[in-house]
């Protein structure tokens, strides 16, 4: 399980405090008003922002001071999830080896992963030649190969159309369940959260609250969330 023990994450002058536990294999939405600190939470867990106080642990291992690449974390950003100068195969291959030393077996796995996300035969394309949906799929293929126990999503599909977004979310859910990954996903759309997460963390007023069942939270939102959801 992922444990944040009295952790304070610093992002410039803004701080977010979190004291919560996410069980292994859970699917969790991170919701809250804009600017409340959702991205701060995710980037703190991923290691891009420093933890000023407290600690973060995964399965009882303290990861507070580990660099991002060493953490048991795969992450998708809002944008720039692929290197524009590398082919899809290389981009996905980075999930297996950061220095791109790929055995024939590895290359087969890369192809299989591309097949799995519906990008068969696109190995040699570069990101600039693809549609937004295809780029998201490629990034997901890499996440699959990274095979990290924690998957963090910082709204990577926000720019896609509703149908495509749903498709991607379903793909994420499938991959998470196949790999047994614990999923943390920032979401602005309640329907997204309901679709693939069972629990939700509310981030508001500089605090990340412990996860509660998604439906329950969305059905009876606290005032701060109600204003935001507009319902």
Partner 1 sequence: MAALIFGALLAVALRAETGRGFNAADWAALRFTLVQATLSALFSVLLAIPVARALARRRFRGRSLLIALLGAPFILPVIVAVLGLIEVFGRGGWVSAALGTLGLPPVQIYGLHGVVLAHVFFNLPLATRLVLQGWQEIPAERFRLATLLGIDGWSMFRVIELPMLLRLIPGAFTVIFAICLTSFAVALTLGGGPRATTIELAIYQAFRFDFDLGRAALLSAVQLGLTVFAGGIALWLARGEGFGSGLDRGLRRFDGKTTTARCIDALFIGVAAVFLLVPLMAIALSGLPGFADMPGQVWTAAVTSLGVAALSTVLLLCMALPMAAAIATERGRMVEIAGLLGLAASPLVIGTGLFIAIRPYANPQAFALPVTALVNAITVLPFALRILVPRARDIVARQGRLGLSLGMAGLPFLRHVLLPRLRPQIGFAAGLAAALSMGDLGVITLFADPNVATLPLQVYRLMGSYQMEAAAAASFLLLILSFGVFWLLDRGGHRHAET
Interacting residues toward partner 1 by CB under 8 A: 46-48, 67-70, 73-75, 77, 80-81, 83-86, 90, 94-95, 98-100, 126-128, 146
Q: What share of the chain is helix, strand, coil (3-state, %, to 5)?
A: 40, 25, 40
Quick check: 5 and 57 in contact, CB under 8 A? yes
CB of 94 to partner 1, least distance (A): 5
Quick check: 37 and 208 in contact, CB under 8 A? yes
Nearer to partner 1, 86 or 224 (CB): 86
Residue 146: phi, psi to the nearest 5?
-60, -35
Nearer to partner 1, 9 or 225 (CB): 9
CB of 208 to partner 1, least distance (A): 20
Cα–Cα distance list, 188 to 32, 95, 145, 194 (Å):
8, 28, 27, 11
CB of 85 to partner 1, least distance (A): 5
Cα–Cα distance list, 141 to 37, 80, 152, 174, 188 (Å):
28, 15, 14, 12, 24
- Name the 3-class secondary structure at 11: strand
Q: Is 75 exposed, middle or buried (0-12, 13-18, 19+ CB in 10 A)?
A: buried
String of b and e for 153-167 (b: at least 16 CB within 10 Å)?
Answer: bbbbbeebeeebbbb
CB of 130 to partner 1, least distance (A): 9
Helix (H) or strand (E) holding 43: helix 38-46
Nearer to partner 1, 79 or 219 (CB): 79
CB of 164 to partner 1, least distance (A): 18
Nearer to partner 1, 80 or 223 (CB): 80
Q: Which of 96, 104, 167, 106 is nearest to 131 (CA)?
A: 167
Nearer to partner 1, 148 or 190 (CB): 148
CB of 42 to partner 1, least distance (A): 11
* Residues shown for the chain: 231
CB of 210 to partner 1, least distance (A): 26
Nearer to partner 1, 48 or 228 (CB): 48
Nearer to partner 1, 102 or 189 (CB): 102
């Amino acid at each position: 399980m992922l444990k944040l023990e009295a952790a304070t994450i610093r992002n410039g002058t803004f701080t977010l405090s979190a004291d919560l536990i996410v069980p292994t294999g859970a699917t969790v939405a991170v919701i809250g008003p804009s600017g409340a600190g959702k991205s701060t939470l995710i980037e703190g867990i991923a290691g891009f922002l420093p933890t000023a106080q407290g600690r973060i642990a995964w399965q009882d291992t303290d990861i507070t001071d580990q660099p991002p690449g060493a953490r048991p974390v795969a992450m998708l950003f809002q944008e720039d999830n692929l290197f524009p100068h590398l082919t899809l195969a290389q981009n996905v291959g980075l999930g297996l080896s950061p220095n791109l030393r790929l055995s024939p077996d590895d290359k087969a796995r890369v192809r299989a992963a591309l097949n799995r996300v519906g990008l068969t035969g696109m190995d040699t394309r570069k990101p600039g030649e693809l549609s937004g949906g295809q780029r998201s799929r490629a990034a997901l293929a890499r996440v699959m190969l990274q095979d990290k126990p924690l998957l963090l999503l910082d709204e990577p599909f926000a720019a896609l159309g509703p149908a495509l977004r749903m498709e991607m979310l379903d793909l994420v859910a499938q991959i998470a369940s196949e790999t047994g990954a614990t999923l943390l996903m920032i979401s602005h759309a309640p329907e997204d959260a309901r679709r693939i997460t069972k629990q939700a963390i509310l981030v508001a007023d500089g605090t990340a609250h412990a996860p509660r069942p998604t439906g329950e939270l969305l059905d009876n939102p606290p005032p701060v969330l109600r204003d935001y959801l507009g319902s």
